Every structure is written in structure tokens, then in C-alpha cells.
A and B are shown apart, each in its own frame.
Chain A
Amino acid sequence: MRLRIRHVIFVSLMSLSIWQLFEAGYIHAKAWIAQQLIQVAWEDTVTSTDAQQPWPWADTQAVARLTAQDGTVDLVVLSGTSGRTLAFGPGHMAGTALPGSFGNVVVSGHRDTHFSFLKHLGAGDQLTLQSTNGNTKVYEVIGTEVVHQNDVAVAMDAGDDRITLITCYPFDAPIPGGPMRYVVVARSISTQYLEI
């Protein structure tokens, strides 16, 4: 009898542990699998004129592809920054410059999945952003900073041609929803004279 209660408690604790492990895994799996599906949609987007949906019921679309010069990062950026969108990929913040156009292109992503690499970025690192028309621009990181979420200044046009990557800070805070944001700013170094 004692044995059975013991077993029940043990098995429940183990199940809870596995469940939490699964939850964490699910977030990462969803983030990874979605990116694989979206990569396919991206190839179509670049080669066709219409925006392509990554899956039929998707309420977002691919707007850019973000890669690191050293090949460690390859992400497709989606439109919008709702929680649903960010689960699948980094999102382009509505109202900021469109990828490919002149201005401040603001992209935010989850600190523990897609944008966990931000903590490794430093001045001089190069990022490439490909827009839906196939054009690419190279950006060089010029600075990083931590700001409060209400400090929207970082998302505003800074007058130059830049990309601003935003993620939650601290990177490994156990409880999500903190007010701080980690910001990476990179400035365009493309020599091509693009229409603004």
C-alpha cells in the first residue's frame, strides 16, 4: 500500500518534470520547425511577386531574411510582433521602415530562441538583410544598449539607414515579461545607392 502511494508521488513528480521539459522543448521546437517551413515560403517569396504564406492558416508573412556574415544565423523575419508571430520567428515592427527601404528597420525576437544570438553580437559584426525583392543590404553593428520597454526612441527613425534588433533582457530571467529590452543597432554599409 505504502509502496503504491510512494510510486504515485514519484511518478507524478517525474511527470511534472517531463511536462515542464516538454513545454520548454515545445517552445524551441515550434521556433525551429516554423523557421524551416518559413524558409521554404521565403524562397517562394523572393522568386514570386506575391507574398507567400508559410502555412495555409498563417496570419503573418515573411518580409526579410536575416543572416550573420559568419553563417551562424539564418532567420526569416515575419511581419508584426504579436506573441503568436514571435513564436515562429523574429518579427518586423509595424510602422518602422520596411526591410530594404531607407530608415530604421526594427526587428524583435524571442531572447531564448531566435534572438538568443544577440548577446554574442558586438561592434563590427556584420549582418545581412535580404528583402522580398531579393535585394540585400549589409549592416555593421555599431552599438548595443539596454533600455526600458517604454523607451520607444530606439524604434524611431534615427535618420540613418539602420537595423535595430530588440529582444528581452536579461537573457535568462526565469520569469518572462520583464520591462527591460536589449537593443543591437547596426548601420548600413552597402555602397549601392538605393532609393530612399
Chain B
Amino acid sequence: MHTPLTGHWTHIQSPASQIMKDSFKGLLTTISVGLTIAACLSIVILTLILTSTVANAAKTDALSNAKSGSLLVKNAQTGEYMPTPTLATDVNISVSGILSRTKVSQKFQNNSKDWVEGIYVFPLPENAAVDHLRMRIGDRIIEGQIKERSQAKKQFQAAAQSGKHAALIEQERPNVFTTSLTNIAPGESITVEIEYQNTLNYREGIVSLRFPLVVAPRYIPGSLDTDEKAATSNGQSPLIEDAHRISPLVLDESEPKRNHVNLSIKLDAGFSIQDIQSTNHTIKKNKITDQQYTIRLASDDAPADRDFEITWRSVPDSMPRSAVYTEHKGDKHFALITLFPPTAPLTTSVRLPRDVVFVVDTSGSMDGASLDQAKSALKMAVRRMGKNDRFNIIQFNDETSALFGKEQPASDKNLKVACRYINALEANGGTNSLPALSTALNDDAKPGRIRQVVFITDGSVGNEDHIFSLIKKRLGGNRLFPIGIGSAPNSHLMTKIAEYGRGTFTYIGDISEVSTKMGEFFSRLENPVVTDIKTRWPEGFVIDITPSVIPDLYQGEPLVIVAAMDEAATGPLQIDGLFAGQTWSQTVNLENQQSEKGIGQVWARRKISEHMGLLRGGAPAEAVREAVLGLALEHSLITKYSSLVAVDVTPGRTAQFMYRQLIPLNLPNRWSQAKIFGSLPQTATPSVMHLILAALFLLLASVFFVITRNTTRARQA
């Protein structure tokens, strides 16, 4: 195995080492050839990777200029955006005194080429008794029926599968409902009409009517958590089972707001009206008499991105001190009694020193105008503290923190510190209110002092029940005063917090309202109330009244009692209470009073609400369900356990598939989407980078090898 190419080394080597030498040389040759090939390969790979990266970068730039939407996904074959069903809402409200009847028409329009089932999550006032459903298909009207919830659902699903039109209304929360409309043909439009009865808020001579137009995205504790540990749970909240049914679909920020609303009101106040005002919308009013008006939104088709609220005020002394409405329905008689306690201002000597804890929501949903309102309300409240009062401020988002360790005297120095603290508040993160409320309720009222907790929030939370049970358990001598802020506060949450917390609920919709609303709020906070209210009904009367325990009355609040009776009332009703330490009593005549429709529904709705409250107090679930379902079926009301369902007779669907589509809600006005949702996950590994580096080093090694080998050879030659 002689190779003429060998150098002088060979001459002094033994034969054995000669063989080794040769094989070593062969190996070197092989390596050098291999390395050369590897080098070439590396160059090719590098070139390929780099060029494709550059090309892709250019492509990315072009694509990033294109706008992308969430609901509209491009069809890869046709390049067209796929249209989704749209919805237009028509609201007709008719008011008589403090009773209001509302008809909501939801017109579903299917613009796509597919058969669609439309699902729409929408809000209603928290005390709405929904008792009617109608489905309009062209000229045909199909009336809805009240059914036990799962039965209604089964009936609806059977219709969906057999290709029949069907509509289903379900209650997700007392103020959040879902309409499902199935088998909407391509191009078809169907209207779902629902009707509800409710009573209006009546306070300090002002009646207010609210129609919520958005459900704000709620903070679902434990689901949108960025904490990795929480994220390793199954991705959905372990605390809120129905999270996906109460956190509604919201429209992408970049898309124009849609889901337009028409709203009109027929108002018969029952007294002479002084001024009518709308909090969030521009309205057009048309006067008919001193007591009667028609009102509608100034612009037709206002997007539903904030709640509608109007208020009207009575001409002084034109409002009756008490009012009774009655209804005779089936074998039952119902009566709605409204009564105003005396409002004479009392001497200030009665005023007890107060310990006030302000709990303020600084979560992401409060960002913008809401936080500004909260800050100015808070500052007003703090400045109003007396010399003997003590206070503290607790703020919460994902975390809870407090200004002081415990309540401190309202000294000038402490007030200054507090104002600085308030100015520095910033909104970000989730709404975890439980720890904050729990901290605030840690203490009880001291003898000779009043302890009040003022809870300022937009209430965008999903764990209402946890909050209610905390309040029930820990209230003691404390009083809780929720202040609802922003364009879409959760008024079900607020009303119930006030009820369980034995305080009152104040709603501030706009920064301009802060001073008047807070003024009213303080007069309630600081003035004595009518307590220990009892009713005495005519002898031998079988009666079922709601509320069964009559709450304390704050200044300017009316007493509202709804009664169900086996026979028409004869004789007067007497009401007794304690007003500033003295007994107070008044009689109300129940005979020959104005008859109105819907009192029965109002009574049943309030009864149902009371039963549901017992559930939170630990009453057996089965008993509550039975009681609620009984009332619901009798009065045709939608509840947690009953739904209204309407089913068409003839099947219409011709296609095999039908797609289910949730109709989006607009994000509430001035909400910022980025503050609610984060960003998409990181999904690249550095493996390509490693490969490139490996190729690069291999290339360097090969080049180095070749060069050094050549220099060696040159030296040998």
C-alpha cells in the first residue's frame, strides 16, 4: 500500500506504523472530503435559510398592513369575509306611575349563505319580570310558553335538529338573559319579542328608569389569570361554572359598533313632571299633558354601548304621599303599596361619629372616565368627614392594598395624605373584590359609633354569589353602601349588596353627576332612618307580602310593599315604625284603588328574588327550586329554573349543517380592550437558530481544516 504522495515521515517508520500511517492518511483524506462536502452543504443551508427569512420578512410586512378582524374570518378559497348574523333591537316602554311595561323586539337577520342558529346574551333591569315571548316569522306569530328550564331546552333542541324555527329565552343571571333562535334560513329575518314588567326607582321626588344596553365583560376570578399556576387549571374558571354564558361576546374594538337600538317611551307619571333628563343619551320629548310625555332617542339607531337612563322630577307637592295599585288575577288579588315616610330635617345633634371604610375598585375595567368619577366621588366623601369621624381607603384589582392599617381620625394631615393617595390611583388588572370586602368587614361597629363601608365599583365581576355570602356572614353592625360607576355597572350586584348590606345603592353614570349624586348619597348616609317598620293588615286577612322583612328606610326613599291576597281588601292597612327614636304610624286605604295590569308579576318576581336570597343563606336547594318554579309557572316568569320557548310547526331547514353563532355585543363605551385582554403566546423555539449556528461552526471548522492542511502540505513540498 505505497502511496507516492507520502512525505519523509514514511522512511523512518516501522511497517506496522506504516500501515497505521496509511490508514490515518486515508482517514484524513476522508475527513477533508467530508468536511468540504459539509462546508458546501452548510453554505447551501445558510443561503436557503437566510433568503427564505428575508422573503418571509417582506411578506410579513405586506400582511401586517392588512387589517384583521375577529368575527370576520376570510374564506381562504374566495378571499371574502364571511358575514355573521346581525341584530337590531327595538324597545318600547310604557310607564304608569312607578310601574313599567317593556317590549323588547330583537330582529335577527342572517346575511350568510348558511343556516344559522343565533345566540344573543343581553341585559335587562335586575328586577325585570319577563313573562312573554313571541316569535314573528313574516306574518306568522308563534307564542312562547313557560316551561321548566331543562324541558324547554330539550324542546328547543329537538326543534333545532328537526329543522324547525324555535326561540328560547333563558336567564343566566337575574339581569342577564340569553335568546337562542334556531334554523334561520340564509337571507331570512326573524323577530323575537319579549315583554317584562318592573317597578321603577323612586327616591327624593325623582323617578328613574334604566334600560341596560350592554353587559360589560366581567372579571371571572381564576380564568384570565396570568399566573402560571392558575393557568394550569383546566383553563376555565373553577369558581364560576357558567363563565362562558355571562361573559358575553364583545365586538372587536377596531370594528364599527353595531347592534343598533331604537327606544321609545310612553310616560304617564301620575303627577306633574318638572324636568326629564337623560344621563347618557340625547333624547327627544313630546309633551302631551303635564303628566304625560312621549320620549325617544334623538338619533335612531344609537349603538348599544352604554346604558340608557332617564329621570323625571315631580313638581313640588304634586306627588301623592302614598299610592296603591291593585290587580285581580285568577282567584288572587294583588296590591302594590308605595308610601313616603316624613322627610322633616332633624337636628344635627343626633349625628353619631362614623367610621367609614372606602373600598375602591382600581381594576382595568375602571380605566378612563370611570376611575375619574370614582376619584372625584372619593375626594368629596373624604372631605366631608367630621372631626370625630375615622376613615380608611382600600383599593383592589388583582391585589388589595390599604391607605392605613386601620381607620384613622379625619385630621387635616390624614386628609392630605388621603388626597394624595386618591390622586395616585391607577386602573389595571382584574377585579378581585372578595379580599377587599373581607378586609373592610373585618371589624364591627363600636358602641356609640356607626361603621359604614362605601364600595365604589363598576361591578364587572362574575362571582356575585361569593360576594353575597361574604356580606351575609360578616355584616354584623356594619352598613354597606355600593356606588355604581361607569357606563354599564352591574346593577343586580349593587342592588343586592345594598340589600344584604342594609345600605343603599347610588349610581353615577357621568362625571357631571358626581356632585349631585354624592350629595344625595351623603344626606342618606348622615341622616337617621325609619327603622323597625311593621305592617298591620285588616283582621282575618290571608296575606302574603313581599318584602317579608321590611328594610330600614333612608331619607327620601319610599316604602314599597307588594301583597297577594285571597280576597279583595277591605279596611285600612296600618304601618308603624321608629323615626328618630319616636314611633311613627300611618294608615293606607286599600279599597277602590286604581287597577293596573302586571302587579301579580311584580309580586311573584319579588317573591322569587326572596327565595333565591334564602338559597344564599343556606336553605335547601331543592325546596327553593320547587317554590321558585311553582311561582314561575303560575305567573309565566323566566327564572333560573324556568324558560320561555316558542316552536314553529313546520320544518324548514334543507341543508345538512347549521352553524351556531353568538351575536356580539359592543364593548361598553370608553372601555379599553387592551386593558382587558393581554397578548398572544410566544411560540417559537430557538431550534432554527441552533441549527444555523451548528452549520456555521461546521463551516468554520472545515475552512480551517482545509487551510491548515494546505499550509502543511505546502511546507512539506
Contacts and interface: CB of A to CB of B under 8 A. Distances in A.
B684 A176 contact: yes
A69 interface: no
A18 interface: yes
A76 to B, nearest CB: 14
A69 B684 CA distance: 25
Contact of B681 (A27, A166, A171): A166
B68 interface: yes
Contact of B231 (A27, A94, A159, A193): A94
A157 B662 contact: yes
A166 B684 CA distance: 11
A160 B697 CA distance: 50
A20 B697 contact: yes
Interface string B3-17: 000000000000000
B494 interface: no
A153 B252 contact: yes
A9 interface: yes
B704 A13 contact: yes
B704 A166 contact: no
Contact of B688 (A79, A112, A158, A196): A112
A159 B691 contact: no
A27 B161 contact: no
Contact of B235 (A28, A92, A151, A177): A92
B77 A80 contact: no
Contact of A141 (B76, B228, B687): B76
Contacts of B253: 153
Interface in A154-196: 154-161, 166-178, 180-181, 185, 187-189, 191, 193, 196
A37 to B, nearest CB: 17
A176 B161 contact: no
Contacts of B421: none
A172 B49 contact: yes
A111 B683 contact: yes
Contacts of A148: 64
A43 interface: no
Interface in B107-158: 119, 157
A20 B73 contact: no
A86 interface: yes
Nearest to B182: A193
Given A158-B73, A170-B56, A93 B683 contact: no
Contacts of B161: 193
A1 interface: no
Interface residues of B, number: 81
B634 to A, nearest CB: 28
A149 B57 CA distance: 15
Interface string B676-696: 011111111111111111111
Contact of B697 (A17, A61, A158, A166): A17
A158 B688 CA distance: 34
B230 A94 contact: yes
A47 interface: no
Given A28-B687, A142-B75, A17 B235 contact: no
B76 A142 contact: yes
B679 A112 contact: no
A103 B57 contact: no
Given A79-B231, A173-B684, A181-B683, A145 B223 contact: no
Contacts of B230: 94
A80 B687 CA distance: 21
A63 B231 CA distance: 12
A20 B690 contact: yes
Interface string B88-120: 000000000000000000000000000000010
A61 B234 CA distance: 8
A172 B52 CA distance: 8
Contacts of A112: 684-685, 687-688
B685 A95 contact: no
A173 B683 CA distance: 12
A82 B68 CA distance: 25
Nearest to A27: B687
B232 A61 contact: yes
Contacts of A48: none
B239 to A, nearest CB: 14
B241 to A, nearest CB: 12
Contacts of A9: 704
A95 B223 contact: yes
A91 B60 contact: no
A154 B679 CA distance: 10
B1 interface: no
A113 interface: yes
A151 B678 CA distance: 9
A83 B684 contact: no
A27 B686 contact: yes
A41 interface: no
Most interface-central of B119, B233, B250, B691 (chain A CB within 10 A) = B691
Given A18-B694, A172-B53, A63 B687 contact: no
B682 A83 contact: yes
Interface stretch (B277-285, B305-313, B652-660): B652-660
A32 B418 CA distance: 58
Given A10-B705, A156-B677, A170-B60, A110 B684 contact: yes
A24 B690 contact: yes
B323 interface: no
Interface in A111-159: 111-113, 115, 122-124, 141-159
B272 interface: no
A60 B230 CA distance: 10
A109 interface: yes
B70 interface: yes
B664 interface: yes
A109 B662 CA distance: 27
B236 interface: yes
Contacts of A141: 76
Contacts of A14: 697-698, 701
Contacts of A149: 679-680, 682
Interface in A1-41: 6, 9-10, 13-14, 16-21, 23-24, 27-28
Contacts of B510: none
B564 to A, nearest CB: 37
B224 A172 contact: no
B690 A21 contact: yes
Interface of B: 49-50, 52-53, 56-57, 59-60, 63-64, 68-71, 73-77, 82, 84, 119, 157, 160-161, 223-225, 228-236, 244-245, 249-250, 252-254, 656-657, 659-664, 673-674, 677-698, 700-701, 704-705, 708
Q: What 6 pairs across the A-B complex have the smallest Cβ distances? A: A170-B56, A153-B70, A159-B662, A17-B697, A123-B76, A13-B701
Given A98-B236, A123-B76, A143-B75, 12 more contacts: A14-B697, A16-B693, A19-B694, A81-B231, A150-B674, A154-B68, A154-B680, A158-B70, A158-B249, A159-B249, A176-B688, A185-B73
23 contacts: A14-B697, A17-B697, A20-B697, A59-B228, A79-B232, A94-B224, A94-B230, A94-B231, A101-B236, A110-B684, A110-B685, A111-B685, A122-B76, A142-B73, A157-B662, A158-B71, A158-B73, A159-B661, A161-B659, A168-B683, A187-B659, A193-B160, A196-B245
Interface of A: 6, 9-10, 13-14, 16-21, 23-24, 27-28, 51, 59-61, 63, 79-83, 85-87, 91-98, 101-103, 108-113, 115, 122-124, 141-161, 166-178, 180-181, 185, 187-189, 191, 193, 196
